[in-house]
């Protein structure tokens, strides 16, 4: 038994690896147990949208990911008679296309860099908890059991999560009716697409996505009981694709289906769920890994803050509601896109006509680009998300992701603007000094005096002007654990 362990992470998929690296870099002692004896080689999630890239950036592996990835600047949609619409992705929206095995390898590299190691061939078989600790029972390949105590346990053990089942957390939802054939290999032919291309034809749907290693992913809907085969994939290319394409040197061939499910809660006492263990949805749109990495970004600064005593335990109660709401929004969008993409005649003709019209107005493609890029996720009101705000400032609104990078893993960032010696930056400075372990203040010389309070995960906690600063301080007091500082802050608020 390792008594110094503060957090046990179950599962070394991308979400478990990212959680471990995020906690380790904040000085938390972590053990990571993974049931498989070797890293997974499958390509699975190939699209890393900007919010997922922000996590790689936090963990200092974004540059390596970029150097290995393909970076498309549009998504193309075709019907029976040529292109329907091109969705352009601007620089802040474009994904990195990278096989998941490479993303996993980069995240494991990040774990090693901050002193962690993955313990493979170690399966969680039981969990027990008291008010003060949690105990994981781990079985190795020889059948030997180890008991590991920790302050917290993270279930990052995928869609069939043992942690979720052991805790009896409901995973409500239903299976999606359509199955898909997925293949990766080399594609030849004059019409081979250079960006992700979606073929919405009267004979079914097909996706062709170029990968960075010279290979291409092809996935198509199957409406009967057939299994994926090289012949089936070639038939799909011939009947649904642009024509004249030949697929060879298959490296992956599989049949899969999806479900839409979300857990009823993401926290049970000292146990928290992240990633596929907490939500699953249609693979169309490539959002699964992105959603999971956002769970990790949301949770890690809060949990590290609680463990190090800078944040009140109650902040962890904001995690589940925020991320369940995010998962429901993603399920709504991916579910709608899947149903529209797989519509049969006559609805498919109507859909294609609408997409053709959308091509002529930039509004609909821009609306979709922002959603698929993960820029329209909104958190519900929690103690960290209903601060004073005023509309029309041009600043991001509370609860929305701020289009700002934030490189302070442990503290919120209070950004003020306006005259450098004005009342707002002076009050903000004083506030930052009263809460040195919680916030840092940064002033930017911009004409209008206003402020933005940004959380370490990039979300906006508050915005406003001079008059709303005291109410924002109450938010800091609410998440701060020290009762003495609460009193000091209340007194000090009156001085602002």
In the complex, the residues that contact ligand FAD under the rule CB under 6 A are 10-16, 33-36, 40, 44-47, 100, 123-124, 156-158, 162, 182, 256, 275-277, 283, 286-290, 292
Q: Is 332 left (phi over 0), alpha (psi -120 to 50) or beta?
A: alpha
Closer residue to ligand FAD, CB minimum distance, 57 or 80: 57
Burial of 147 (0-12, 13-18, 19+ CB in 10 A): exposed
Q: Closest approach of Cβ 228 to ligand FAD, in Å?
A: 11
Q: Is the preceding omega at residue 346 within 30 degrees of 0, hence cis?
A: yes
DSSP 8-state class, residue 405:
-
How far, CA to CA in Å, does 225 sit from each of 179, 250, 255, 341?
9, 22, 10, 20
Q: Are 230 and 255 in contact (CB under 8 A)?
A: no
Q: Closest approach of Cβ 5 to ligand FAD, in Å?
A: 15
Distance of CA 45 to the CA centre of its chain: 12
Q: Closest approach of Cβ 156 to ligand FAD, in Å?
A: 5
**Which residue, judged by CB position, is nearest to ligand FAD in the bound state?**
13
Closer residue to ligand FAD, CB minimum distance, 45 or 263: 45
Q: Can you give the C-alpha Rg of the chain in angstroms?
A: 24
Q: Closest approach of Cβ 290 to ligand FAD, in Å?
A: 5
Distance of CA 375 to the CA centre of its chain: 11
Distance CA 33, CA 120 (A): 6
Q: Closest approach of Cβ 55 to ligand FAD, in Å?
A: 12
**Residue 105: enclosing H or E segment and its boundaries?**
helix 100-113
Closer residue to ligand FAD, CB minimum distance, 95 or 389: 95
Q: Closest approach of Cβ 195 to ligand FAD, in Å?
A: 15
Q: Closest approach of Cβ 372 to ligand FAD, in Å?
A: 11
Closer residue to ligand FAD, CB minimum distance, 289 or 479: 289
β-pair partners for 255: 181
Closer residue to ligand FAD, CB minimum distance, 158 or 242: 158
Encoded tokens for 47: 């699209």
Closer residue to ligand FAD, CB minimum distance, 62 or 415: 62
Distance CA 166, CA 416 (A): 47
Q: Are 51 and 198 in contact (CB under 8 A)?
A: no
Closer residue to ligand FAD, CB minimum distance, 100 or 221: 100
Q: Closest approach of Cβ 124 to ligand FAD, in Å?
A: 4
Closer residue to ligand FAD, CB minimum distance, 47 or 200: 47
Closest by Cα among 4, 3, 7, 39 to 24: 7
Per this entry, what is the length of the chain? Answer: 496
């Amino acid at each position: 038994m390792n008594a110094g362990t503060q957090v046990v992470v179950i599962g070394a998929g991308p979400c478990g690896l990212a959680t471990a690296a995020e906690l380790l870099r904040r000085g938390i002692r972590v053990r990571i147990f993974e049931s498989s004896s070797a890293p997974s080689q499958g390509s699975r999630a190939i699209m890393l949208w900007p919010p997922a890239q922000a996590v790689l950036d936090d963990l200092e592996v974004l540059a390596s990911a970029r150097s290995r990835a393909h970076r498309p600047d549009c998504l193309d949609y075709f019907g029976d008679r040529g292109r329907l619409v091109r969705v352009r992705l601007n620089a802040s929206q474009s994904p990195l296309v990278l096989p998941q095995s490479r993303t996993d390898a980069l995240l494991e590299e990040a774990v090693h860099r901050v002193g962690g190691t993955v313990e493979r061939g170690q399966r969680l078989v039981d969990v027990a908890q008291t008010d003060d600790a949690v105990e994981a029972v781990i079985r190795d390949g020889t059948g030997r059991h180890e008991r590991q105590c920790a302050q917290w346990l993270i279930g990052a053990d995928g869609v069939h999560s043992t942690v979720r089942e052991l805790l009896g957390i409901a995973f409500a939802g239903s299976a999606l009716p359509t199955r898909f054939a997925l293949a990766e290999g080399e594609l030849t032919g004059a019409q081979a697409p250079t960006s992700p291309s979606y073929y919405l034809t009267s004979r079914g749907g097909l996706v062709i996505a170029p990968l960075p290693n010279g290979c291409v992913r092809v996935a198509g809907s199957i409406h009967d009981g057939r299994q994926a085969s090289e012949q089936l994939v070639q038939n799909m290319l011939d009947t649904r694709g642009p024509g004249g394409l030949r697929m060879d040197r298959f490296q992956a061939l599989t049949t899969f289906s999806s479900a839409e499910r979300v857990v009823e809660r993401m926290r049970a006492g000292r146990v928290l769920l992240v990633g596929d263990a907490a939500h699953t949805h249609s693979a169309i749109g490539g959002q699964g890994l992105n959603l999971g990495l956002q769970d990790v970004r949301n949770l890690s600064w809060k949990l590290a803050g609680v463990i190090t005593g800078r944040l009140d335990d109650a902040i962890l109660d904001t995690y589940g509601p925020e991320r369940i709401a995010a998962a429901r929004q993603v399920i709504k969008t991916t579910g709608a896109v899947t149903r529209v993409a797989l519509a049969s005649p006559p609805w498919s003709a109507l859909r294609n006509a609408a997409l053709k019209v959308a091509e002529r107005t930039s509004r609909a493609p821009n609306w979709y680009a922002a959603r698929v890029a993960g820029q329209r996720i909104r958190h519900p009101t929690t103690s960290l998300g209903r601060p004073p705000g005023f509309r029309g400032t041009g600043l991001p609104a509370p609860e929305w992701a701020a289009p700002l990078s934030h490189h302070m893993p442990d503290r919120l960032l209070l950004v003020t603007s306006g005259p450098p010696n004005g009342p707002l930056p002076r009050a903000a400075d004083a506030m930052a000094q009263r809460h040195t372990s919680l916030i840092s203040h940064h002033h930017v010389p911009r004409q209008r005096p206003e402020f933005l309070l940004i959380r370490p995960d990039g979300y906006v906690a508050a915005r406003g002007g001079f008059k709303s600063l005291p109410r924002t301080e109450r938010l800091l007091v609410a998440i701060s654990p020290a009762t003495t500082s609460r009193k000091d802050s209340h007194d000090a608020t009156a001085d602002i």
